[in-house]
């Protein structure tokens, strides 16, 4: 992804006039408290609705048929064709079909997809794979997203802590067997959580790598047994960055520090000029995906 100079933090806030003689900071703080209270009330209402509703997960056969119908309706003439549906149209279809049974998966590289979905499904669950190995900047991005957007960030954690995994399998499993480490710390936890939903929206884009070049807008995800939706599959790096800039959205500051693709800290390095955007992931190992998207 193209480097972008966007500072970590929340999006634009409303301008609030302070009473005569009062500090402008006091007015800003009061507005922040008011907005925080409104957010918590809205989130509570949404959670009460979800908790109080009997959620019958449709069968795999039913969901697979919905996925196929969505692929035909939204995919146009095929991946990359001019008649494909837009990201907003894909999300509108997903919200209509799945409602609160739709989740967003985010690596906290940026907040674009979370913001797009939250516009049409406020307080949507945003699933973040908290592996225990993330950069501090990634955790800061997660916290900023939870604070600035109308989303519910859900930390998806492995069964074992890093210390427990080290005790059971030896230290630094990521260096000796990255496939096993990714499976235990990312893939299996996410699959357990995804089993409670009917569909997930991901930030997979065709510009990410050659292996994602044919990614469809909607498909049946047989690995995770739910509908997979890639609303921004057709977006270029420049389109993604431009959207974030125009809307004041949080992005991970590592994007501007030589990390166009961001994973766990021990398995991610800076990328040199001319290298593939994902060349810094699991460098030196025959591996380019954690396993969630294959």
> Is residue 41 in a domain?
no
| Residue 151: CATH number of its domain | 3.40.50.620
Annotation: binding site? 181-182, 264, 267
Q: Which residue has the tokens 């699933």?
A: 127
> Is residue 223 in a domain?
yes
| Domain interval for residue 194 | 58-267
> Is residue 47 in a domain?
no
Domains held by the chain: number: 1
Catalytic residue check, 105: no
> Is residue 184 in a domain?
yes
> Is residue 284 in a domain?
no
> Is residue 174 in a domain?
yes
> What confidence category does residue 233 fall into, taking pLDDT thresholds of 50, 70 and 90?
very high
> Is residue 283 in a domain?
no
Distance CA 200, CA 156 (A): 14
> What confidence category does residue 53 fall into, taking pLDDT thresholds of 50, 70 and 90?
low
Annotation: binding site for [4Fe-4S] cluster? 181-182, 264, 267
Written as one string, the DSSP assignment of 106-146 is --SSBSHHHHHHHHHSTTEEEEEE--S-B-HHHHHHHHHHH
> What confidence category does residue 291 fall into, taking pLDDT thresholds of 50, 70 and 90?
low
Residue (of 122, 194, 121, 123) closest to 156 by Cα position: 194
> Is residue 53 in a domain?
no
Name the residue with higher pLDDT: 25 or 78.
Answer: 78
Strands of the sheet containing 218-221, edge to edge, are: 151-156, 124-129, 102-105, 199-201, 226-229, 218-221
pLDDT at 182 over 50: yes
Q: Which residue is catalytic, options 94, 227, 254, 290?
A: 290
In the chain, the largest separation of any two C-alpha atoms, in whole Å, equals 65
């Amino acid at each position: 992804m193209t480097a972008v100079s966007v500072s970590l933090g929340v999006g634009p806030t409303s301008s609030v006039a302070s009473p005569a003689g009062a500090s402008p900071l006091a007015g800003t703080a009061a507005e922040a408290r008011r907005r925080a209270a409104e957010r918590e009330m809205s989130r509570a209402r949404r959670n009460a609705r979800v908790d109080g509703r009997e959620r019958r997960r449709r069968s795999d056969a039913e969901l697979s048929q919905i996925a196929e119908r969505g692929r035909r309706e939204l995919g146009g003439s095929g991946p990359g064709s001019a008649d494909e549906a837009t990201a907003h149209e894909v999300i509108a279809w997903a919200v209509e079909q799945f409602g609160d049974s739709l989740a967003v998966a985010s690596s906290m590289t940026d907040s674009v997809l979370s913001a797009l979905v939250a516009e049409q499904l406020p307080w949507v669950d945003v699933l973040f794979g908290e592996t225990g190995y993330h950069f501090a900047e990634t955790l800061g991005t997660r916290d900023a997203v939870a604070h600035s957007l109308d989303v519910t960030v859900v930390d998806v954690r492995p069964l074992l802590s890093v210390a427990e995994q080290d005790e059971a399998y030896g230290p630094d499993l990521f260096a000796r067997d990255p496939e096993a480490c990714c499976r235990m710390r990312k893939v299996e936890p996410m699959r357990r959580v995804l089993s409670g939903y009917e569909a997930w929206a991901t930030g997979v884009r065709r510009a990410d790598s050659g292996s994602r070049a044919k990614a469809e807008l909607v498909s049946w995800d047989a690995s995770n047994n739910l509908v997979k939706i890639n609303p921004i599959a057709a977006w270029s790096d420049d389109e993604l960055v431009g959207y974030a800039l125009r809307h004041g959205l949080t992005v991970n500051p590592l994007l501007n520090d030589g990390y166009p693709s961001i994973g766990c800290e021990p398995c991610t390095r800076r990328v040199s000029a001319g290298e593939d955007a994902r060349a810094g992931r699991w460098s030196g190992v025959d591996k380019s995906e954690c396993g969630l998207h294959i």
